[in-house]
Structure 1
Amino acid sequence: MVFLKYTPLQSQSRAILKLVDKNLVSKDYVEYQFIQQSQIPTSHFQPGLPRLPIPELKLTCERYLAAQRPLLIDESYTKTETNVNRFRDGVGKQLQRILKDYDGKNKHTSYISELWFDKYLRSRTPLPLNCNPILVFNNDDKPEYNDQLIRTTNLIVSSLRFYRTLKSELLQPDIYHLQPAKSDNERFNYIASKLPPKLAYIYAYFNKAFPLDMSQYPNLFQTTRIPEIDKDRLVDNPESKHITVQYKGHFYAFKVLTVSNDIIPASQILDNLKFILNDTIEPSKHPVGILTTLERNKWATIRHELAENGNETQLKTIDSALFHISLDDDMPGNDPCKITTQFLHGDGTNRWFDKSFSLIVAKDGVTAVNFEHAWGDGVAVLRYTEEVFKDSKNKPRIHPDTKTTEESSLSVNRLDIHLNDHLKSCIDQAKVEYKAICDNLDVNYTIFEGIGKDTCKKNKVSPDAVMQLGFQVGYHKLTGNFVSTYESCSTAAFKHGRTEAIRPCTTATKAFTLALNSQNKPSVPELKSMIQKCSSIHNRLIKEAAMGQGFDRHLFALKAMGEKNGIKNNIFDDPEYAHIGYDVMSTSTLNSPAIFSGGFGPVVPDGFGMGYAIKDEFLGALVTNYKDRTNGPDFIGALKKSFEEIFAILQAN
């Protein structure tokens, strides 16, 4: 794990800002090096953040049973209820004491943090489709700046500015302002910056401002996941000053920071990228990046051989890069399905899925971030994406009329990979296996125009609750069933918080779905009242999850304590516990002015991966599934019908 801490670079950078005030350092220099100059240091609030609470065992059991109720027939539910009550009054108490003792000995972090890292790193499934999500940037509204060379250069410069700002503690901390007029201003920033961290948090709290955990942010840069047998490693390289670039399956590296950690001129980055794009080398016949698509134990074994075959230096160069760039020759245009297919998996020949994140830029300038998930969650990646998109768009350093040199760049190092016959055979086999998996993935989307947040607000219902309700109705229309559904919720309000699960399939959504899909529908006022009840319950679940009061992570931790201490218990042996964790519908919402779309693969073979957004006057959902197990177009059709019916009810007088 890598957690944010003060560094010599931070002290150096704040000293530079003081020199600017005295006119001893150029403002232009500082403006180029830093994307922000926050008065409050980035990690200022960290020591004052509250710790993630361990919920009461009784409440967790009640919430767990409430989530199981709509999924089970009466007989199964009665059995599960008996097991849960026995657990609550017996071994559950013992595990709760052990968990609290574990938590008490690790007050520097949260009770879920180490266990969650361990969960991800022990997973043996391949990273693409199973783990790595994508965030797709909006195009620049100035078409000429979407040129692949121009856009990549500007995005790299903005990424480096973000990196330097983060490392220098000049990035504005994440703060949720409940009353922005009261706290999102210079006076608040000045006072908070002068107070000691714990008092600063209290001051923010009393001003209805809630600082969020920033500990995951450093893992964005200089970090990679190394495959090992049984459990991978996360490795950071704090002295790194270079980036790696993939093009036609080949790897290149060049330095982007000077000895004193200054960002090199944008024109030099442009020249280096132009040199790579003009390299006349043929596409790699045996692209080593495809190996990162393999099952983790298999990849660990092959990587060991790869290093022993004269590639240790090359691998270290890739691993230690600040971040990774993939330059593609494909042109997905503005088709969400093509975009998702290219950036979520592609053909694997021009990818390195192990890196903390890769910035992928297509031939037509369409850009996405594909990120490895073990090191952190979407909060840090989304902030990075938003800041870099805004900065590269509003303050581009390279323009269509920027001149490049015609001479070959001597600062670019192509990483030639040495392969024996066995390694070549492994690559060939990985290509075949990966293609079969990707060919089986289907991507579909729907955009529902004319209705959205505005309609929900007028009817005093939560837009997110309505979207989730649509998923329940649609799935039931298609299959006649109710299944475990997952919605991610961040617990970044707490020190080293990760995520909590919201379970949107409730007894209320089930009742409404059955009513709406029945032949004898209740009256419209009655159906509208049922929607409002669904919304009320959904809002409560969101609040509980955000405040660390969900049941999923608590039960996960109790189960881990039992396994560590050899304590057997009935609740986790109950098939219904595994059943509720089998997320047939895995969902995540994404609303950002920087983002065109987001996507991820299904988390189970017969499931759907669903990224969605609801705007003021339209809503949209992008759905992934495996063709051999489920029918994506039919599900999209059922979703459209569901939203038509739900919004017809909301809009009725």
Structure 2
Amino acid sequence: MAEAHQAVAFQFTVTPEGIDLQLSHQALTEIYLSGVRSWKKRIIRLKNSVITGVYPASPSSWLFVVIAILATMYTRSDPSMGLIAKIQEHLPVSQSMSTQCQAVVSAVLFSTMLWLLLIFTMRLCLKQLLSYHRWMFEQHGKMSNTTKVWVALVRIFSGRKPLLYSYQGSLPNLPLPTIKDTVKRYLESVRPLMDDTQYERMTKLAAEFESSLGNRLHWYLKLKALWASNYVSDWWEEYVYLRGRSPIMVNSNYYGMDFLYVTPTPIQSARAGNSIHAFFLYRRKLNKEEIKPSRIPGTVIPLCAAQCERIFNTTRTPGEETDTVQHWQDSDYVVAYHRGRYFRLRVYQAGRLLSPREIEFQVQRILDDPSPPSKGEAKLGALTAGDRIPWAKARTKYFSSGVNKRSLDCIERAAFFVTLDDDEQGMMGDDPAASLDRYAKSLLHGKCYDRWFDKSFSVVYYKNGKNGINAEHSWADAPVLAHLWEYTLATDSFQLGYNAEGHCKGDVDSSLPRPQKLNWEILPECEEQISQSLAVAQALADDVDFHVFSFRDFGKGKVKKCRVSPDAFIQMALQLAYYRDRRTFCLTYEASMTRLFREGRTETVRSCTNESSAFVRALDGGEAADVCRRLFRAALDKHQNLYRMAMTGAGIDRHLFCLYVVSKYLGVESPFLKEVLSEPWRLSTSQTPVQQVELFDLVNHPEYISCGGGFGPVADDGYGVSYCIVGDNLINFHISCKHSCPDTDAHKFGAQIRKALHDLIQMLSPNQKEPNKTEESRPEVKKDL
């Protein structure tokens, strides 16, 4: 209990001789250094808020404007056209100043107002420039003169050396489509999924909605679009994520994998030491806004960074009706789970971030700790994996006071959650394909009680040195966390590195206080609730069927040589694979970002179109190659157009969703909206792009490839498909479905995807020899620990 005593700054007891006061100098020093660190962060935030607030100008430009105005005064010219004199007349302290001093103060005030006006004008101009999206619809490689001028103006008004949040005030608001356009595009999207009778019925419902209730709902939505910076995001977060009462494990949370072929060290504690240190390096850069603003690849167009604010120190708190997302400004520790125990692991000592070797030392202490878990502690995390209402009630009843509240607060306020897993995972053994499937399932749900699914993200470290990440979805979308994960993997392996024995580099201070074990007092009725939540979660986890595979026969390099978008190519392959698997088409969800706009999140690309279904039928029916290629090009063009429209705010699903929310607020029923919102997404797809290509040298180190990540199926009778295009010759696929559905099989669907990819590339380049169809080819690896 030494660490507990050190945490007390002073102790006093009353004795017959008087008051016995004992001070802990170490604790007082820690308090002092913690305060210094906190004030440093406040000063940095204040400085950054000033820099961001005046961007695209700089604070130093104020001095330039002041000097320029003062210089003109000495040349006896008046650039203010009499405004400086007016200000001078109305100065409240003019009686206590000399005339010359009054003139200088008035000039400074005028200069400041002129400077602020220039900033406002520049930001308004940049906002208008960023509202231009016609460049996205131009043919690749052929830029119009208008777009060339626009690019030049964006560069001029974008300023220099932007911070992470510099562009936030200049991003345009998400535009609101018209009812007419949305209904028209919706009917077009469902045409290949309905027969003539069904389509005629839906057309009548849509026409009735458009001519009556739709306009009334749209009017309210217009008011919100004028008032709010984004008319979708707050409702999307609340109603799609936070109000969901079913388990977030599998249904909402997603995962990211480690390197596919390389494990930098086989030592579990060393891997944790390096990567935890890298996570906090990223957080330091995030707090200082030193991370470069994300942009559309190959352009100067910035993306919204609002989601980055809640990466760390964030948790989802359960409620009976709706959950809430709580975020704290700072946290100097993580909480680690190992063999049923929870430990508070501080990563700062005397105001400094612990070195990777010191974090490894602390993690090893946790691994070596022989203490047993408290009664009911081992499977406590199952509460976060089960239904939300029982967890909310249990939290209020059993964790609102005493030792349980203190320990729960410790978990929820932690920077992130760490699981030290006793299992070994990764591509290994005699059946590497099956081992990848087990690895994916482990990251998605684990044992259903050894992750804290409410945390913004949990990092899992396996016994053999492999790691992975599980993320809660409400606070942000996958690309935001993927950016952090890429940085961590690259920093861990290429910057921090390991010594010859596989340990973290550097020395260790063995006097560091031991990680503090959290204490719990779990009542029998609480244990019963934990068991019930675990049963719900376990049934859900057991029902998930997963298949992960790397497709190495060809990649985006060969696809691009055919003058085809790799993403559109894969989407057409998925349509072909699904049709061959189920002999029908389905409503298909492809995630597209809307971060071109302030507080933008996602929009849906409905990848199953009239054009794609016509192509699939033609190819599967044995039509002539020329006919199939023509239909294929038409399907690709349609998909690309839909994707661009979704990115530029002209999608249909978020608009329909918000109209439905308004109808619920007004208490009116719409048969059209009710049917639209109840349609199942039997094929839910998402691409995980590599955002920081510069961090990975795939030419010299092709083995350092991340396998990407995945998610659970959205529909009980459907598939979830995530894919990651890595380099020119690799595509990773993550396929999920449910065992309980007799019509779905992840491995069977994976085989259909492989066949579809080969059939499409053969159709596009019939004269080229088909590559060898090796299911799991592996590059030469320099070092695989």
TM-score by length of structure 2 reads 0.71
The answer to whether residue 584 in structure 2 is matched with residue 481 in structure 1 is yes
Give the match for residue 464 of structure 2.
364
Q: 1:296 to 1:139 in 2, by over 3 A?
A: same
| Alpha-carbon contact 1:139-1:366 (below 8 Å) kept | no
| Alpha-carbon contact 2:592-2:643 (below 8 Å) kept | yes
| Alpha-carbon contact 1:130-1:602 (below 8 Å) kept | yes
CA distance in 2, matches of 1:251, 1:12: 37
The answer to whether residue 748 in structure 2 is matched with residue 650 in structure 1 is no
CA distance in 1, matches of 2:671, 2:260: 53
Give the match for residue 271 of structure 1.
361
What is the correspondence of 1:261-410 to structure 2 with a 5 Å cutoff? 262-282=352-372, 286-308=378-400, 310=402, 311-334=404-427, 335-396=435-496, 399=499, 400=502, 402=505, 410=513
Give the match for residue 751 of structure 2.
637
SS at match of 2:533: helix
| Alpha-carbon contact 2:357-2:508 (below 8 Å) kept | no
What is the correspondence of 1:122-137 to structure 2 with a 5 Å cutoff? 122-137=243-258
CA deviation after TM superposition for structure 1 residue 463, in Å: 1.5
| Alpha-carbon contact 1:136-1:367 (below 8 Å) kept | yes
Give the match for residue 13 of structure 2.
none
What is the correspondence of 1:85-96 to structure 2 with a 5 Å cutoff? 85-96=207-218
CA deviation after TM superposition for structure 1 residue 97, in Å: 1.3
Pairs aligned (count): 588
| Alpha-carbon contact 2:330-2:415 (below 8 Å) kept | no
Residue 460 of structure 1, aligned match among 555, 563, 577: 563
| Alpha-carbon contact 2:318-2:324 (below 8 Å) kept | yes
TM-score by length of structure 1 reads 0.85
Q: 1:365 to 1:140 in 2, by over 3 A?
A: farther
CA distance in 2, matches of 1:265, 1:463: 42
Q: 1:238 to 1:258 in 2, by over 3 A?
A: farther
CA deviation after TM superposition for structure 1 residue 267, in Å: 3.5
What is the correspondence of 1:556-595 to structure 2 with a 5 Å cutoff? 556-573=657-674, 575=675, 577-580=676-679, 582-592=680-690, 595=706
CA deviation after TM superposition for structure 1 residue 283, in Å: 6.2
CA deviation after TM superposition for structure 1 residue 10, in Å: 3.2
SS at match of 1:173: coil
Q: 1:599 to 1:43 in 2, by over 3 A?
A: same
CA deviation after TM superposition for structure 1 residue 11, in Å: 4.8
Percent identity between the aligned chains? Answer: 28
CA deviation after TM superposition for structure 1 residue 99, in Å: 0.4
CA deviation after TM superposition for structure 1 residue 396, in Å: 0.9
CA distance in 1, matches of 2:678, 2:455: 32
Give the match for residue 643 of structure 2.
542
SS at match of 2:659: helix
What is the correspondence of 1:505-524 to structure 2 with a 5 Å cutoff? 505-518=608-621, 521-524=622-625
CA deviation after TM superposition for structure 1 residue 177, in Å: 4.9
CA distance in 1, matches of 2:248, 2:406: 24
The answer to whether residue 326 in structure 2 is matched with residue 235 in structure 1 is yes
SS at match of 2:256: strand
CA deviation after TM superposition for structure 1 residue 259, in Å: 7.1
Give the match for residue 286 of structure 2.
166
What is the correspondence of 1:56-205 to structure 2 with a 5 Å cutoff? 56-106=178-228, 109-119=229-239, 120-138=241-259, 141=262, 143=263, 145-179=265-299
Deviations 1:299-342 (A, max 9, x none): 11122233147400000000001111111111112132121011
SS at match of 1:423: helix
| Alpha-carbon contact 1:95-1:558 (below 8 Å) kept | yes
| Alpha-carbon contact 2:192-2:585 (below 8 Å) kept | yes
RMSD: 2.3
| Alpha-carbon contact 2:712-2:720 (below 8 Å) kept | yes
CA distance in 2, matches of 1:298, 1:118: 19
- Greater C-alpha radius of gyration: 2
Amino acid across the alignment from 2:673: F
CA deviation after TM superposition for structure 1 residue 249, in Å: 2.4
Moved more, 431-440 or 114-123: 431-440
Question: Unaligned 5+ residue runs, structure 1?
Answer: 1-5, 16-37, 180-208
Q: 1:425 to 1:309 in 2, by over 3 A?
A: farther
Moved more, 585-594 or 89-98: 585-594
Q: 1:459 to 1:45 in 2, by over 3 A?
A: same
Give the match for residue 212 of structure 1.
303
CA distance in 1, matches of 2:609, 2:600: 25
Deviations 1:144-195 (A, max 9, x none): 535211111111111111111111122211122544xxxxxxxxxxxxxxxx
Residue 8 of structure 1, aligned match among 23, 26, 43: 43
Question: Unaligned 5+ residue runs, structure 2?
Answer: 1-40, 51-159, 428-434, 691-695, 697-704, 768-785
SS at match of 2:208: helix
Amino acid across the alignment from 1:96: H
CA deviation after TM superposition for structure 1 residue 427, in Å: 2.3
Q: 1:480 to 1:233 in 2, by over 3 A?
A: same
Give the match for residue 740 of structure 2.
628
CA deviation after TM superposition for structure 1 residue 105, in Å: 2.0
Deviations 1:593-618 (A, max 9, x none): 66322111001111111111345234
**Structure of higher RCO (CA pairs closer than 8 Å, 6+ residues apart):** 1
CA deviation after TM superposition for structure 1 residue 393, in Å: 1.8
| Alpha-carbon contact 1:244-1:324 (below 8 Å) kept | yes
CA distance in 1, matches of 2:572, 2:261: 34
The answer to whether residue 714 in structure 2 is matched with residue 603 in structure 1 is yes
Deviations 1:91-136 (A, max 9, x none): 2122111101012222xx3101110111111011101100000111
Deviations 1:337-382 (A, max 9, x none): 1210111111123110000011111111222111100111112101
CA distance in 2, matches of 1:533, 1:527: 10
Amino acid across the alignment from 2:567: D
CA deviation after TM superposition for structure 1 residue 415, in Å: 0.6
| Alpha-carbon contact 1:134-1:343 (below 8 Å) kept | yes
The answer to whether residue 613 in structure 2 is matched with residue 613 in structure 1 is no
| Alpha-carbon contact 2:257-2:469 (below 8 Å) kept | yes
SS at match of 1:175: coil
CA deviation after TM superposition for structure 1 residue 648, in Å: 1.7
CA deviation after TM superposition for structure 1 residue 524, in Å: 0.9
Amino acid across the alignment from 1:356: S
CA deviation after TM superposition for structure 1 residue 218, in Å: 1.6
Give the match for residue 532 of structure 2.
429
